[in-house]
Structure 1
Amino acid sequence: MGKFQGKLFALLFYVPMLLGIFGSCDKTPPKTGTLMDFVPENTSVVFKISNFENLQADIENNSLLSKFGKTAPYLFFSENAVLLKNLHPTTQSLFCINKVNDSVSAYTFISKQTKNLFQPDSLKNKTIETLKLDDQSFQRITIDKQIAYSAIIDSVFVVSSSQQILLDILKGKTERDDTFKKVFNLPSSNKFTALIRGNKVALNDSTKVAFTSWSALDVTITPESLTATGITLATDSIPQLLNVFEDQIPQQNDVSALVPTDALGAVSFTFNDAEKFQKNLRNFRGEKDAVQTTGIFGSVSEVGTIQFKNETAIFIKSIDAALTNDALARYVSAKSEFREIEISSFSEPELFQKTFSPFINSTKANYVFQIENFFVFTESEITAQQIISDFQNNNTLKNTSYFENTATDLSTASSLLIFKMKGEFSETISGFFNAESSDNIKNISFDEFPLAVLQFSFDRNFAHVTLSCKEAGATAKSVSGTVSEKFNLKLENAVLGIPQIFSNQNNGSNVVVQDIANKLYFISESGKILWSKNLGSPILGTVEAATISGNKNFAFATKDAFYILDRNGKEAKGFPIKFKDKVTQPLSVFDYDNNGNYRFIIVQGKDVLMYDKNGKTVKGFGFEKAKSNIAQSPIHIRMGSKDYIVIAEESGKLNILSRVGKPRVSISKNFNFSEIPIAEEDNTFVVITKENTKERISQDGKISSQKLDVGSNYWFAINGNVKVTLDDNLLRINGKLAELPLGVYTNPQLFNVRRNNFVTITETQEKKVYVFDQNGNVLNGFPVYGTAAASIDSGSGKNNMIIATKGDANNLILYSSN
């Protein structure tokens, strides 16, 4: 837990760092008992945390935050916040950071007082004293010689590493800033939100200026990325740089097409009214006299800088290159030519600093050349030649896979766009730490994070903010026009069963797969094994998703146990449930009303066992034992307002029951059940027998039979209004025939992704995976290589899906398709 706390502290500094942000009124808060009322005055960062345990796992698995293990913030936090690992909030909590002085920070934790939040009786080496100071009563808690201070105020538990901060809260000295209240109360469905007092932004290594008052960011942590989206607010009471974009419409940012891949970063800002924008900048700087630019910027929509190791280049993008050329003519004289591009000397090297400070501070714009609509100004001819060469060779940021991966998070148009490349953000980070920790951070390598991006889009009196930093990982390999291979991962042993994909709204997608040694793997979308678990037996059927207490869990059965695991690989309380008798069918999961009140069905021969989400036996279910062995996993079918539980026996008896296990439909006929699951079609129960007879059973028990003119490899599947059949190589989707090449095919699988239905099927001899839409059309880019059945789900991008299948015996393949 201490390791997690250190990384959390690193995160507290890291999110504001990427934003470039460093680091009142009535002092008596209303006693409402709301968490906001107890945020310390002048706090730098406030984190709103919905699930402390999930956040712990996310941070532990994040490859960026793991870099901070040996920094002073980590050591400070893990050594001085022993109390935090003994806090167990079950509701939203706040975590606040205050800068005490230039080298010391203090934390404050705030949460509703609940029964198990803090249980000191179980702690060793602890002392709890009740103190009274300035007429305020509070507790001093000492654990392993580390001290924190706590109080319960209006049913709210507050603990701080600073006695003074706790006393101030008790006296009503809390954060009362109106802008803070606005950002705190912004609606958000995210489980982790950062509120950052945004005083300064780092435009380059030497310039940090007042930018905004507060930012509210929904933070998403995956194993390979840290992203955030939200808004930032400026005020008119003090000069703040965000306000220079007032009345400006964000324009398209095209600088990525110009920035060489070996640059260290770039800054791009846009405007649609150059004269008004320059006036706003002069007002920000407190200047009255206008700079004469002879119309150079009148036809310009994007301006910025490109940072190299020893030099800064300046660029402008024109919407009318001829007009810009005419305006520049009096300042340029021909110098040389490189690759048919003329490089000219420029006589006003300080023009950009005078016009666009603080965005641009360079005073050495000595040379200028034109590439398409870009005019680029450099300090030296060598840098000019380098930019020209890289542009002509397509060796620019726009053409990299990591930019393409990041671009899915960004808007094409924005007011301000900041790129940090080649992991060159440690210097920016160091401003958040004391001198001692700054040296530690300088020694950290961020090479696997080739790009961090910060984007602001002005909108009335605030700006939308996007932050994205992603690990490069293995470059996606293009398979065909619209399909890329995200990874090809070799496991310790051969893959067993069908790899399954589970999407999570805030954490991307993950693959769950088992190998023949019965090890279960949980793998990220980029191919990183997040955890594995030895089960001892193969999983029967598939893994089922079950959202319990707002968190996605995984439920499944083996021949001797019933498991529920959370997405961190931890067993739910009360699980696994071990059995002496053999489990004979895959786990069935019922959620009658889609409200998370799950019923889990275990079959042991003739016996039916029903459990709730806590692992307790459900009482009152009347069907506990069949007269013969059960032939298939029980299923739940809803027709209209009625629920049916359907249980097929090997004797041919079909039991159609109510929720409580009582007979609901009387059946007068026995059936020779095949492996095809019983389904619902047109408000009837459908049984496909081993003789390929389709038996329809109405809700009042009437039976109609249809002999199917199909081959021995027939399969039938239905999901809502999509029906799929396979007869040898004849695939029909809602009646539309897709004649496949002759071969040996897996059973078609139906999936719903972003409200669209898709069908996967694999030819196992030629090793081809097909994906069809619900209209019977094969998707562009398919088939792709695969040796077993495939599953699909939504990926982390906005418009893509991912496909998981088996490759060679030990290999798991994940594809991405737009």
Structure 2
Amino acid sequence: MRFFYLALLFTLFFSCTNNNTKTSNLINLIPESTDVVIKTSNLENLKNSINNNDFLSKYSSSESFKNLESHLEIVSHVKPETNILICFSKDDNDSLQYSLITKYNPNLFKTDSLKNYTEELLTYKNKTITKSSLNNKFIYSTLIDSVFFASSSKILVDNVFKEINTNLDFEKIYKTTSDNKTASIILKPNNALLKSFFVNDSLNLESFTNYIAVDAEISQHEILINGITKATDSSKSLINIFKNTNPQENLVQTITPANSDGFISFTFNSFGVFKENLDKYNKKDSTGIETSLFNNIIEVGVIYEDKNKAIVLNSTDVIATKDALLDNQNRIDTYRQIDVFSFSKPDIFQNTFTPLINYRNANKYCVLDNFFIFSDNIEMLQNIIANYQNKTTLRERNYFKNIKTQLTDESSLLQVTSPSLLKNIISKNGVNDSNYKVSSYKASAIQFIYDNNFAHVNGIIKKNKTAASLNSISEELNIKLENDLLNTPQFVTNHVTNQKDLVVQDINNNLYLISNKGKILWKKQLKGPVLGKIEQIDIYRNGRLQLAFATPHRVYVIDRKGRDVAPFPGKFNDDITQPLSVFDYDRNKKYRLLVTQGKNILMYDVKAKLVRGFGFKSANGNIVSQPKHFRIGSKDYIAFKTDSKLYILNRAGANRVTPKTTSNFSDEDIFLYKNKFTTTNKKGDLITVDSRGNTATQSYNLSENHHLETTSKTIVLLTENKLTINNKTIELDFGYYEAPKIFYLNDKIYVAVTDTQSQKIYLYDSQAKLIPNFPVYGNSVIDLNNIDKDKNLEFITKGENNSIILYQIN
């Protein structure tokens, strides 16, 4: 449950005044004392995204987070179907309290299976409040006009029965947030949780603005935020010093050495207007201070290097700025043909730009093209000169280019930090764990772009990934779920993007649809485990795909949003014993759904009605293979088998082919190989049957626990540690091997096999040659495909018991 508290560190606000409104709007029930509001339309994805995010997951060792996690344990059992607001506030004793607000649904708070759970009803003064306890942690809840309100504070629940109030300005801010991101957060600056995100100690949220509202998109290696900030009093909030100025292009990165610790840059199109705003904020009259040095400056920056600093001025008129420095032409050094001069007014920067700059020792300077750089450390100036001439500045680094794509070119205020400064900011917010490693976060940034009485906010914290070399295998995602996996993950088609998502089920029978970026799109509890592979159908014949599959007593058809498609799920009293078979005989989307129950087969249409005219009655024993549809020429065949008989039927369920043999068949599937129905028997022989019923038996000396997989022209056999691909046999290390799988992609055959004993995945081509850089780590069979817009193939497998690994073949 640490996800609630963790999210606060990367987002933002709230405040209330009076105006009567209706309670049907969730925001009208937000407690007036709230410091932080987190909105999400997918609570499961928020929890998963934060638990899987490399940066946020590092906070779990913090004692303050662990303490909050225990208090929020009961919240993890809330299952909202729409937006939920999570609010944090301080009570009169300065203790942190939380509240939850969402639309009520019958499955919102299921408590039947919870251990150590109790509840009681408190009824008084026409109020009914439920007091719930889980492991001695309490939460109070009630319903207000179909809205569920719950809080750790009974006082906050009592207050929602009083007059409902809200702030119209806040409501406007709230409406700027999205319902499609991981979360939206509104943060009050003077809260006790997030003090600052600035390097400069003189800058803090309380003095910077009144509130910030952002959408946060959290993936495994990246946190992106974008939103707005607004200050109502222009004289008290620093963000308003940019009022009536236009943001300019930030260029300090072109002069910042790649080995520095980062920089802060602020811009304006008129220094005069900017200075007037800043003087008003600082409540001082600085008309007597000589500032002609800044008359042609559109950008001011501070570069950080260990304990040293350098001031950068970006001039639009180099000659005029040099003229302003005529009294400071005492050369004290020359480095790489660049002169370094002494500067007699080192405190002018702090006197003019406080609190943005709190550095008053810049007594030396040099000039590089249109940049004027000031510092008291000559070695720092030399480092800036060398990196600028060598083109090894921050601007040239790929990790900076990667974050720059998420930022605008022009901003009023931009801060870019290295790992050391990022860790410094983290410590300012109360996390001082020496084991917290951020060295792979080469560049993080936040920027503000002033607009008409408000400012846009963009931010990014991104883990730097080394570019994958050719033919390498790179781990792209490692998605951890709350529970262990029940089955192996598989790809499914996303009809919106024409890319691939993935589905998997956990041991609590929850089915997950997860994007190829690792975002949980939905989680749905099923009545039992999924049997076999999940199929996709277009039930409405409009290009939109649904998931179709069976569990032991249900047949499900589920749409992309996780909703059951009526009239499904179909319910069955007797056990369904094989995976659901989906046939589309003429590829016209008139689907047939075959349900296997012991020795019987039932055929349904997409309206869940039995298909008339399918006349198969019963097999001679339990069916041991999933029924399959094949087409040879213009004829259709439905094939399955029992222990002693192979059935090959026509569409109507009558015998189309009668094999001229009987055998003690294995449980392996039936395949169509070289236009022959192909399977094996328990003795390890390969059995083939042609369309006239002629049968051939070929001995491969297979063990009883063998596996068979074919395409129309490729055959793969696995027995013990011997893998045979088209008559070429490979002797593998001894282990426990899952059934091999064949993939045909980009006109190439791939054969995958996994040893779950040594946790190794092998991938071969059709010539039985191992693909370079295999084997790799994995604990299940794989699914292989091209899941995105690049040309590289990806595959998924089970990692640890509760994790899914996505690899890319480069």
Give the TM-score category using the shorter length.
0.5 to 0.7
User: Aligned to 1:272, what secondary structure does the other structure show?
Assistant: coil
**1:305 counterpart (302, 305, 308):** 302
| Residue 101 of structure 1: how far off its partner (Å) | 7.1
Instruction: Determine the C-alpha separation between the residues in 1 that align with 2:496 and 2:27.
Output: 26
CA contact under 8 A between 1:487 and 1:526: conserved in structure 2?
no
CA contact under 8 A between 1:9 and 1:73: conserved in structure 2?
no
User: Aligned to 1:64, what secondary structure does the other structure show?
Assistant: helix
1:339-358 matched pairs, under 5 angstroms: 339-358=336-355
Match of 1:12 in 2: 8
CA contact under 8 A between 1:501 and 1:791: conserved in structure 2?
no
1:584-599 matched pairs, under 5 angstroms: none
User: Aligned to 1:448, what secondary structure does the other structure show?
Assistant: coil
CA contact under 8 A between 2:22 and 2:164: conserved in structure 1?
no
1:181 aligns with 2:171: yes
1:334 aligns with 2:321: no
User: Aligned to 1:44, what secondary structure does the other structure show?
Assistant: strand
Q: Given residue 262 of structure 2, which amino acid in structure 1 is its aligned partner?
A: G
| Residue 372 of structure 1: how far off its partner (Å) | 2.7
**1:619 counterpart (609, 612, 635):** 609
Aligned in 2, Cα 1:103/1:66: closer, same or farther, shift over 3 Å? Answer: farther
User: Aligned to 1:316, what secondary structure does the other structure show?
Assistant: strand
Instruction: Determine the C-alpha separation between the residues in 1 that align with 2:547 and 2:174.
Output: 34
1:112 aligns with 2:108: no
1:199-238 matched pairs, under 5 angstroms: 202-209=197-204, 210-236=207-233
Identity value in percent: 29
Instruction: Determine the C-alpha separation between the residues in 2 that align with 1:812 and 1:195.
Output: 33
Instruction: Determine the C-alpha separation between the residues in 2 that align with 1:162 and 1:179.
Output: 27
Q: Given residue 458 of structure 1, which amino acid in structure 2 is its aligned partner?
A: Y
**2:320 counterpart (319, 323, 329):** 323
Q: Given residue 65 of structure 2, which amino acid in structure 1 is its aligned partner?
A: Y
Query: Alpha-carbon deviations, 1:662-707, whole Å to 9, x = none?
Result: x9xxxxxxxxx9999xxxxxxxxxxxxxxxxxxxxxxxxxxxxxxx
| Residue 37 of structure 1: how far off its partner (Å) | 0.9
Instruction: Determine the C-alpha separation between the residues in 2 that align with 1:52 and 1:100.
Output: 26
| Residue 47 of structure 1: how far off its partner (Å) | 1.2
User: Aligned to 2:356, what secondary structure does the other structure show?
Assistant: coil
Instruction: Determine the C-alpha separation between the residues in 2 that align with 1:296 and 1:588.
Output: 77
User: Aligned to 1:337, what secondary structure does the other structure show?
Assistant: strand
Match of 1:289 in 2: 286
1:85 aligns with 2:80: no
Q: Given residue 261 of structure 2, which amino acid in structure 1 is its aligned partner?
A: L
Q: Given residue 178 of structure 1, which amino acid in structure 2 is its aligned partner?
A: L
**1:49 counterpart (20, 30, 40):** 40
| Residue 425 of structure 1: how far off its partner (Å) | 3.0
Aligned in 2, Cα 1:803/1:93: closer, same or farther, shift over 3 Å? Answer: same
Aligned in 2, Cα 1:465/1:576: closer, same or farther, shift over 3 Å? Answer: farther
Match of 1:428 in 2: 425
User: Aligned to 2:792, what secondary structure does the other structure show?
Assistant: strand
Query: Alpha-carbon deviations, 1:553-581, whole Å to 9, x = none?
Result: 876899xx999999999x99989999988
1:385 aligns with 2:363: no
The runs of 5 or more residues in structure 2 that have no matched partner are 479-488, 505-510, 522-528, 618-625, 638-650, 652-671, 676-711, 714-743, 750-764, 772-782, 797-804
Match of 1:533 in 2: none
| Residue 444 of structure 1: how far off its partner (Å) | 2.0
Q: Given residue 652 of structure 1, which amino acid in structure 2 is its aligned partner?
A: S
| Residue 154 of structure 1: how far off its partner (Å) | 2.0
| Residue 272 of structure 1: how far off its partner (Å) | 1.0
Match of 1:471 in 2: 463
59-68 vs 598-607, greater mean Cα deviation:
598-607
| Residue 294 of structure 1: how far off its partner (Å) | 4.7
The runs of 5 or more residues in structure 1 that have no matched partner are 492-497, 514-519, 531-535, 628-632, 635-646, 656-662, 664-672, 677-711, 714-743, 750-762, 770-787, 795-800
User: Aligned to 2:245, what secondary structure does the other structure show?
Assistant: coil
CA contact under 8 A between 1:266 and 1:304: conserved in structure 2?
yes
Instruction: Determine the C-alpha separation between the residues in 1 that align with 2:531 and 2:126.
Output: 64
Instruction: Determine the C-alpha separation between the residues in 1 that align with 2:593 and 2:601.
Output: 10
Instruction: Determine the C-alpha separation between the residues in 1 that align with 2:3 and 2:594.
Output: 41
Q: TM-score, normalised by structure 1?
A: 0.64
Aligned in 2, Cα 1:545/1:412: closer, same or farther, shift over 3 Å? Answer: farther
Aligned in 2, Cα 1:609/1:478: closer, same or farther, shift over 3 Å? Answer: same
Query: Alpha-carbon deviations, 1:370-412, whole Å to 9, x = none?
Result: 2232221112112112222333333332222322221221111
CA contact under 8 A between 1:256 and 1:396: conserved in structure 2?
yes
User: Aligned to 1:360, what secondary structure does the other structure show?
Assistant: coil
Structure whose CA Rg is larger: 2
388-397 vs 308-317, greater mean Cα deviation:
388-397
**2:25 counterpart (16, 34, 43):** 34
User: Aligned to 2:366, what secondary structure does the other structure show?
Assistant: strand
| Residue 251 of structure 1: how far off its partner (Å) | 1.2
Q: Given residue 167 of structure 2, which amino acid in structure 1 is its aligned partner?
A: D
Aligned in 2, Cα 1:74/1:259: closer, same or farther, shift over 3 Å? Answer: same
Q: Given residue 268 of structure 1, which amino acid in structure 2 is its aligned partner?
A: S
Aligned in 2, Cα 1:111/1:792: closer, same or farther, shift over 3 Å? Answer: closer
Instruction: Determine the C-alpha separation between the residues in 2 that align with 1:401 and 1:556.
Output: 45
Query: Alpha-carbon deviations, 1:630-659, whole Å to 9, x = none?
Result: xxx99xxxxxxxxxxxx984361489xxxx
Q: Given residue 3 of structure 2, which amino acid in structure 1 is its aligned partner?
A: K
Instruction: Determine the C-alpha separation between the residues in 2 that align with 1:398 and 1:576.
Output: 61
Instruction: Determine the C-alpha separation between the residues in 1 that align with 2:792 and 2:261.
Output: 35
Q: Given residue 257 of structure 1, which amino acid in structure 2 is its aligned partner?
A: T
- Number of aligned residue pairs: 637
| Residue 36 of structure 1: how far off its partner (Å) | 0.8
Instruction: Determine the C-alpha separation between the residues in 1 that align with 2:389 and 2:159.
Output: 61
**1:278 counterpart (269, 275, 279):** 275
**1:650 counterpart (619, 627, 632):** 632
| Residue 85 of structure 1: how far off its partner (Å) | 2.2
Aligned in 2, Cα 1:49/1:553: closer, same or farther, shift over 3 Å? Answer: farther
Match of 1:72 in 2: 63
| Residue 432 of structure 1: how far off its partner (Å) | 4.4
Aligned in 2, Cα 1:544/1:618: closer, same or farther, shift over 3 Å? Answer: closer
| Residue 95 of structure 1: how far off its partner (Å) | 0.4
CA contact under 8 A between 2:40 and 2:179: conserved in structure 1?
no
1:233-272 matched pairs, under 5 angstroms: 233-236=230-233, 239-272=236-269
1:699-714 matched pairs, under 5 angstroms: none
User: Aligned to 1:424, what secondary structure does the other structure show?
Assistant: helix
Q: TM-score, normalised by structure 2?
A: 0.65
**1:143 counterpart (115, 134, 139):** 134
